[in-house]
Structure 1
């Protein structure tokens, strides 16, 4: 999943401005002018690395003359102690960008790592792990790219690129069937998915021609029965109350997709560190 360079540049500029404010007073007080340094960012916990392009942009914007060299590949499982990025240049610029670069890397690598754990948990079942819109405001593109780096798949990006009819839409439309028929008539070129909480609602969705059905907060037994009844007439997505302990059971019911909000709203940061050494 390719990130828009303009978006990355804008996010980094705002993040640096937030952190630096009127200037890095600690560095101004302690680092001699003209001092040069090298620094290495190293993984301190096992996981999947993602976000190097963002970290590189941080150091590019932090000051002239900073050069970055990638030392590890993104999207693969790495072990603690793995060096991932080396930067050289003015010491003040490296220190200015240090925390912002680490914040982006730790957040995005955390999302990629949690996704990889879910993907591993359902390996061999045929189901795919999806993200949701439960993302950090303004960071959605980065976090969804991190999900893909971890082996997951991206669900709809926003409210504009897919019809997802949920319980409040159903209530306003007067039922599952009317909601699905109205959506298919209005947006024939978009994927239409409808949330169902019971087998009866699944039947209404099928009758209305829904190509994709979200099974909301159902037990594994309920989902297994619906998979058998639907028999390929629509794609099925499981969602709600699914975690690493239960995701395999959900996948083994035969659903096509499992969406997990925790990938982006609850992923713990992956621990990385930056160690600087002053150059002669």
Structure 2
């Protein structure tokens, strides 16, 4: 199978290890009472993890690391790579070794896989709509605390791209920033901001500057600041169209908010560069994945 979406970087192991540790401590508690009482300590078994619906894969190594953390002697083999698309009822991983260890790792491994494959699959649906377009799909920082590195990795597996990973990545002046600046500077807010941005560009010439705008009136003011990227937030199609005329190729354009699969193509046809979607990480449906022990 083709794998065009395999991410160009690996998941940071030190972060992954800590997340797995916390997840297993939460799930196992003081021990697997059922397995320890019913399954012999030295019992051996083989298990297959099976995707029960069509999906784009993400988190295969995460799942294997879960089992390895419990018992390093477990043997885990992935049949595919992250970013590949698989059909319904496809076995994707085989794990063999101690039966109690398999049972202890099952739920945490499946939780990671179901969530990450869900993000990758939803991202892929949006990316496929734009296959013939220059518009790129971006994620946002609307992620679960502590899981951002995994969720953004899953977006890459689905063919999307990452927006800011953290507040330190580039300057993004949002509505609340502008509200505070206006409150402090009054009618001279625009001149004050222009001066600040001039200083920032001199001191940090490689840092991108992006400004969010919610109205066309505000957009006209923002354009005078010459940002690298302008975000059109929660605008209707007719407003985006007018906004593109106002910007007139003087900045890259990102559209955010109120964009679903039905609206996506129409937005892309207006010539925007990016569409950022919080729903990729905060609302992706989990993929049905199970583990069968033989």
**TM category, shorter:** over 0.9
Matched, 1:103 2:111: yes
Equivalent-residue separation in structure 1 for 2:284 and 2:191 (angstroms): 36
- Please report the RMSD computed on the Cα atoms of aligned residues, expressed in angstroms: 1.4
Which of 117, 121, 134 matches 1:126? 134
The 2-side partners of 1:77 and 1:251 are apart by 25
Q: Is the 8 A contact 2:226 2:250 kept in 1?
A: no
Alignment of 1:39-118 (within 5 A): 39-118=47-126
Corresponding pairs, count: 277
Q: Which residue of 2 aligns with 1:34?
A: 42
Q: Does 1:167 align with 2:175?
A: yes
Match of 2:6 in 1: none
Structure 1 Cα separation of the partners of residues 274 and 191 of structure 2: 22
Pick from 282, 287, 290: which aligns with 1:265?
282
2:30 to 22, 34, 37: 22
In structure 2, how many angstroms separate the alpha carbons of the residues matched to 1:159 and 1:84? 36
Contact 1:177 1:204 in 2 (8 A): no
| Aligned mate of 1:8, from 16, 20, 27 | 16
- TM value normalised by structure 2: 0.90
Gapped regions of structure 1 (runs ≥ 5): none
- Give 1:230 shift: 2.0
Q: Displacement, 1:184?
A: 5.1
Match of 1:185 among 199, 221, 228: 199
Counterpart contact for 2:51–2:290, Cα < 8 Å: yes
Deviates more, 1:171-180 or 1:245-254: 171-180
One of 200, 203, 209 as aligned partner of 2:217 = 200
Matches within 5 A, 1:129-168: 129-168=137-176
Identify the match of residue 240 of structure 2 among 223, 233, 236.
Answer: 223
Q: Distance between the aligned counterparts of 2:266 and 2:79, measured in 1?
A: 38
> Shift in Å at residue 181 of structure 1?
4.7
Does the Cα contact within 8 Å between 1:50 and 1:149 map onto a contact in 2? Answer: yes
SS of equivalent to 1:237: strand
Cα distance, 1:166–1:78 mapped onto 2, change above 3 Å:
same
Q: Distance in 2 between matches of 1:103 and 1:74?
A: 16
Measure how far apart 1:200 and its partner are. 2.6
Q: Deviations over 1:14-38 (max 9, x none)?
A: 1011101110001001101200000
Structure 2 gaps, min length 5: 1-8, 183-188
Instruction: Evaluate the alpha carbon distance shift between residue 27 and residue 194 of structure 1 in structure 2; reply closer, same or farther with a 3 A threshold.
Output: same
Which residue in the other structure is 1:244 paired with?
261
